[in-house]
Each structure stands twice: as C-alpha cells, then as structure tokens.
Amino acid sequence: MSIIWTVIIGFIAGLLARALKPGNDKLGFFWTIALGIGGSFLAKYVGEALGWYREGETVGFIASVVGAMVLLFIYGMIKSSKK
C-alpha cells in the first residue's frame, strides 16, 4: 500500500511543481508522476547529505514539491539547450 501512496503523493507533487514553475512544460501523466517521485527522492538524499533529515525519516510534502521543481528546472535547461 505504501507504493500506491508514494505514486499518489508523487503525482500531486509533480502537478504542484508544474503549476508553480512558470513556463510551458508539456509533460504527460506518467512523466508528471515520475517528476514528483524523483523530486521526493532528490529531496530525501540532498536533505540527508546536508543533515536536514536522518536516514529512515520521511521527506515532507513541501520538500518533495521543491525537489520536483528542481528537476523540472533541470529538464527545462536541457530541453532549451537542444534547440
């Protein structure tokens, strides 16, 4: 059941990141989920490296959205450099 919740929270975090970041990012349903889940993992590992979280702690929803926004920004930079 925790995997289902991870996907749901990842999807919501991905949607919020896309809504908060300016610009037109055309991502599909599954890429939005991947963005949110990736943001959660990014926030978790960066937070652990900086000492904000300890191993085994869950990352907050806001940190997941921020992590997803960082990934969306990186995606936008890569996409614009290919043009």
25/49 Cα distance (integer angstroms):
29
Say if residues 64 and 39 touch (Cβ distance below 8 Å): yes
Predicted pLDDT of residue 2: 65
Predicted pLDDT of residue 57: 67
Residue 53 tokens, joined: 């979280």
**Residue ranges of the chain with per-residue pLDDT less than 50:** none
Predicted pLDDT of residue 83: 65
Predicted pLDDT of residue 47: 80
Predicted pLDDT of residue 81: 80
Where do the domains of the chain lie? 2-81
Residues 6+ apart with CB under 8 A from 15: 32, 36
Give me Rg for the CA atoms of the chain.
13
